[in-house]
Amino acid sequence: MKEPAITPEVISKHGITPEEYERIRGILGRDPNFTELGIFSVMWSEHCSYKNSRPELKKFPVTGDRILVKAGEENAGVLDVGHGWAVAFKIESHNHPSAVEPFQGAATGVGGIIRDIFTMGARPVFLMDSLRFGPVEKDAPGAAGNRRLLSGVVSGIAHYGNCIGLPTIGGETWFDETYAGNPLVNVFCLGVLRHDQIARGAAKGIGNPVFYVGAETGRDGLAGAAFASRELTEESKEDRPAVQVGDPFREKLLLEACLELLASGAVAGIQDMGAAGLTCSTCETASRGGSGIDVDLDLVPKRENGMTPYEILLSESQERMLVIVKKGQEDCVRQSFEKWDLPCAEIGKVTGDGIMRIRAGSEVVAEIPASSLTDEAPVYHREAADWTPPEVLDIASVPETDVQAALPLLLAHPTLARKRWIWEQYDHMVRNGSVVGPGSDAAVFLARECGKFLAASVDGNGLVTRLDPREGGRRCVAEAARNLACSGAVPLGATDNLNFGNPHKPEIFRQLRDAVEGMAEACRAFGTPVTGGNVSLYNENPSGPIDPTPVVAMVGLIEDEAHITRQSFREAGDDVWLLGERSAGLDGSQLLLIAHRRKEGRPPQTDLAAEVALQNTLRQAIRAGLIRSAHDCAEGGIAAALAECCLSGDQPVGAEVNLPDDGLRYDESLFHEAPGRIIISSGPENRKKLERHFADNGIPVRFLGATCGKDLSIGLRGKTHRWELDGLFRAWDGALQDLMDTVAEPLAAH
Partner 1 sequence: MRFAVLRFPGSNCDQDCLRTLRDNFGAHAEPVWHKETSVAGFDAIIAPGGFSYGDYLRCGAIARYSPVMRAVREEAERGTPVLGICNGFQILCEAGLLPGALVRNRGLHFICRQIHLRLENNSSPFTRAGLIGQVLRVPVAHGEGCYYADNDTLQRLEDKDRIAFRYCDADGNVSPESNPNGSLHNIAGILNEKGNVLGMMPHPERACEERLGSTDGRLVFESLINSAMAAIQ
Partner 2 sequence: MKIRVTVLPKPSVLDPQGVAVAGAMKHLGWENPGRVRVGKVIEIDSPGACPDEAKLHAICRDLLSNPVIEDYSVEFLEP
With contacts defined by CB under 8 A, name the span among 242-250, 445-453, 588-596, 603-611 that binds partner 2.
242-250
Instruction: Tell me which stretch binds Mg ion (CB under 5 A): 11-19, 95-103, 441-449, 542-550.
Output: 441-449
Phi, psi of 597 (to 5 degrees): 50, 40
Q: Quick one: 612 or 634, whose CB is closer to ligand ADP?
A: 634
Instruction: Rule CB under 8 A: choose which of 20, 304, 449, 724 binds partner 2.
Output: 304
**Which residue, 268, 267, 271, is CA-closest to 118?**
271
Rounded CA-CA distance 387/391 in Å is 12
Contacts of partner 2 in 269-298 (CB under 8 A)? none
Q: In 532-635, which residue ranges form alpha helices assigned H by DSSP? A: 590-596, 608-623
CB 106 within 8 A of CB 161: no
570 burial (CB, 10 Å; 0-12 / 13-18 / 19+) is middle
Q: How far is the CB of 252 from partner 1 (least distance, A)?
A: 6
- Separation between Cα atoms, residue 310 and residue 305, nearest integer Å: 14
How far is the C-alpha of 583 from the C-alpha of 471, rounded, in Å?
15
Write out the binding residues for partner 1, residues 458-497 only, by CB under 8 A: none
- CB-wise, 396 or 747, nearer to partner 2? 747
Could you say which residues in the range 249-288 bind partner 1, by CB under 8 A?
249-250, 252-253
Residues 590-649 interacting with Mg ion (rule: CB under 5 A): 632, 634
By CB under 8 A, tell whether 193 contacts partner 1: no
Rounded to whole angstroms, the Cα distance separating 674 from 750 reads: 45
Q: Residue 84, interface with partner 2 (CB under 8 A)?
A: no
Distances (CA, A) of 726 to 118, 567, 649, 739: 45, 19, 13, 19
Contact 566, 560 (CB under 8 A): no
Residue from 618, 675, 616, 673 nearest 476 by CA: 675
Q: Which stretch binds partner 1 (CB under 8 A): 23-31, 277-285, 424-432, 579-587?
A: 424-432
The site partner of 483 among partner 2, partner 1, Mg ion, none (C-beta below 5 to 8 Å per kind) is Mg ion
Stretch that binds partner 2, among 13-21, 129-137, 484-492, 742-750 (CB under 8 A): 742-750
Is position 246 an interface residue for partner 1 (rule: CB under 8 A)?
Answer: no
By rule CB under 5 A, what string of x and - marks binding of each residue 9-28 to Mg ion? --------------------
Q: Should residue 173 be labelled a site residue for ligand ADP when binding is judged by CB under 6 A? A: yes
Of 130, 244, 434, 457, the residue at the interface with partner 2 (CB under 8 A) is: 244
State the minimum distance, in angstroms, from the CB of residue 70 to Mg ion.
29
User: Phi first, then psi: what are they for 338, rounded to 5°?
Assistant: -60, -50
Indicate which residue of 14, 47, 96, 563 is catalytic: 47
Is residue 246 a contact partner of residue 163, using CB atoms and an 8 Å limit? no
Q: Which does 747 bind (CB under 5 to 8 A by kind): ligand ADP, partner 2, partner 1, none?
A: partner 2
User: Could you give the CA distance from residue 717 to residue 278 in angstroms, rounded to a whole number?
Assistant: 67
> Alpha-carbon distance 364 to 351, whole Å?
15
Q: Is 94 a catalytic residue?
A: yes
678-682 and 629-632 as β-strands: parallel, antiparallel, unpaired?
Answer: antiparallel
| Residue 101-130 contact track with ligand ADP, rule CB under 6 A, x = bound | ----------------------------x-
Closest CA to 483 of 553, 574, 413, 576: 553
89 versus 103: smaller Cβ distance to partner 2: 103
Distance in Å, CB of 422 to ligand ADP, minimum: 5
Residue 227 within binding range of partner 1, rule CB under 8 A? no
Contacts for 176 with CB less than 8 Å, ≥ 6 apart: 132, 134, 135, 415, 462, 463, 547, 593
243 binds, among partner 2, partner 1, Mg ion, none (CB under 5 to 8 A by kind): partner 2
Among this protein's residues, is 693 annotated catalytic?
A: no
The partner in contact with residue 250, picked from Mg ion, ligand ADP, partner 2, none with C-beta cut-offs of 5 to 8 angstroms by kind, is partner 2
611 lines the binding site for partner 2 (CB under 8 A): no
Q: Is 163 in the site for partner 1 (CB under 8 A)?
A: yes
Contact 282, 322 (CB under 8 A): yes
Residues in region 196-225 near partner 2 by CB under 8 A = 215, 218-220
- Binding part of the chain for partner 2, among 100-108, 173-181, 429-437, 720-728 by CB under 8 A, reads 100-108
Q: Are 357 and 350 in contact (CB under 8 A)?
A: no
Residue 67 binding result from partner 1, Mg ion, ligand ADP, none, given CB thresholds of 5 to 8 Å by partner type: none
CA 673/CA 706 separation, integer angstroms: 23
Instruction: Rule CB under 8 A: say whether 326 interacts with partner 2.
Output: no
Which letter, b or e, does each residue of 318-352 get, where b requires 16 or more Cβ atoms within 10 Å of its Cβ? Answer: bbbbbbbbbeebbeebbebbeebebbbbbbbbbbe
Q: What are 323's strand-pairing partners? A: 211, 270
The one of ligand ADP, partner 2, partner 1, none whose footprint includes residue 561, by CB under 5 to 8 A per kind, is partner 1
**Binding partner of 252, given partner 2, partner 1, Mg ion, none, CB within 5-8 angstroms per partner class:** partner 1
Q: Of ligand ADP, partner 1, Mg ion, none, which one sits near residue 115, judging by CB under 5 to 8 A according to partner kind?
A: none
Work out which of 15, 241, 408, 709 binds partner 2, going by CB under 8 A.
241
Region binding ligand ADP by CB under 6 A among candidate stretches 168-176, 252-260, 569-577, 659-667: 168-176
220 forms part of the interface with ligand ADP (CB under 6 A): no
Using the Cα atoms of residue 249, residue 254, residue 257 and residue 262 in order, give the sign of their dihedral.
negative
Q: How far is the CB of 242 from partner 2 (least distance, A)?
A: 6
CB within 8 Å of 29: residues ≥ 6 apart: none
Q: Which one of 34-42, 324-332, 416-424, 542-550 is the stretch in contact with ligand ADP (CB under 6 A)?
A: 416-424
> SS3 for 137?
coil
* Rounded least distance, CB 459 to ligand ADP, Å: 5
Which residue, 177 or 247, has its beta carbon nearer to partner 1? 247
Interface with partner 2, residue 746, by CB under 8 A = yes
Contacting residues for 384 by C-beta, under 8 A, at least 6 apart: 506, 509, 510, 513
Residue 483 interacts with Mg ion (CB under 5 A)?
Answer: yes
Task: Find all residues with CB under 8 Å of 11, minimum gap 6, and list them.
Answer: 18, 21, 37
Q: Is the separation of the CB atoms in 228 and 10 below 8 Å?
A: yes
Among partner 2, ligand ADP, partner 1, none, partner that 749 touches (CB below 5 to 8 angstroms by kind): partner 2
Name the residue type at position 279.
T
Smaller CB separation from ligand ADP, 181 or 438: 438
**Considering CB distances under 5 to 8 angstroms, the limit depending on partner class, which of partner 1, ligand ADP, Mg ion, none binds residue 200?**
none
- Please tell me whether residue 488 binds ligand ADP under the rule CB under 6 A: no
Burial 238-247 (b: 16+ CB within 10 A, else e): eebbbbbbbb
H runs (alpha helix) in 265-392: 277-288, 309-314, 330-339, 370-373
How many CA atoms lie within 13 Å of 115's alpha carbon, on the beta-carbon side?
30
Q: Is residue 220 classed as helix, strand or coil in its secondary structure?
A: coil
Angle at CA of residue 731, ends 704 and 462, nearest 5°: 80
**Near partner 2 by CB under 8 A: residue from 143, 184, 232, 243:** 243
Residues that bind partner 1 (CB under 8 A): 155, 158, 162-165, 247-250, 252-253, 340-341, 423-432, 434-435, 446, 448, 561, 745
Residues that bind Mg ion (CB under 5 A): 441, 483, 632, 634
Residues that bind ligand ADP (CB under 6 A): 129, 131, 168, 170-173, 419, 422-423, 438-441, 443, 457, 459, 483, 634
Residues with a catalytic annotation lie at 47, 94
Residues that bind partner 2 (CB under 8 A): 100-101, 103-104, 144, 215, 218-220, 236, 239-245, 247, 249-250, 303-304, 317-318, 744-747, 749-750
